[in-house]
Structure 1
């Protein structure tokens, strides 16, 4: 086991290497199970059920024991089996290892939607991030599901698949590769994920997500309708152009045209602002 929470699993078969396209988490796809999760053998599943049963009985009385049980559940979920001994990396023969690292997701700034920024429109940002880093990236923990009621039900279900809902909100990054390559992939993924955790609503990532959203006709139509409804509820905030002196017929027509152009420009600016606000609220 490596330092700072980095976990190393045993050697994996070649069929497991590079399968990172199914790491989308349930907040994105609305599913009840995580695709691409480590498969548990029958013995490990039974052991996890026993651990969860004991955890539910001692949760309010033995907090330290509960913490140890949570750590054991994490190790089993990572490796897919009951851990027996510390694993070593074979760099000479370049045997593949399964490497995993949890990343804390800040929740102090409640006005910023970190999960939405990580996912992007229809989960496309997370998919691209997985393809670029060659890592499986999954959003787990408390508040990782969009449906809070459903999340609470699953948290209390004592199902081993949802044991992660008892943990704080986090991102789990994992990969399967030869040792040096695996650590390089994880390092690259951590650097990229940090960019998504910066609470900036107007950075390059957000701007690209907004442009991508507007390219979707259905999503753009919804934003436009919502923006028009907001404009109807708001009174015009633009200042009227003052006319000085009694204008002649030509001057009056010119000033009316200038006033209309001014109002049109203000409406366009307000429309862009409202679209940005709607996008930030949606994601």
Structure 2
């Protein structure tokens, strides 16, 4: 004979017991275990998964500030997949020479091929969601990464208004990435070269097609 179902006793505010329930008791292991928040390793190097995440982000943009925590988690996931997919975290560590001379600010420009590939969102690819890709590059290279030139501002009307004004001279130049580094010259040149190499990887059409 099968065992009798477990009876659950509920006490109401009146202090009187409610009729026994025959609902099966939940396992404490299954009810207490939180859902996993780790990304499936097989997805982090999947371009299709990244495309799906970016599509979700565009759909969320239609209802701004309604799902702020979801937006933040989605941005983190996009950045995680990008870092893995484009090998942003597997670069060999920079070997910096001993400091020599005084510290100065050095810079270099990397021009973006918008005329050859006008359909690609180069700015979004370089900056990443909430600027996380650029911030990761800055942390890895010790350089400051900035997008400058025509088309670098999200607000095109404001860009037109600022063009020709003091401190906005870069808006008369072609779209480019400005890399700056403040360090001793022999060390700054190494950092600038590393940053330039990583920026060039992000400007490949095969990469930008995912944006």
Instruction: Give 1 or 2: higher helix fraction.
Output: 1
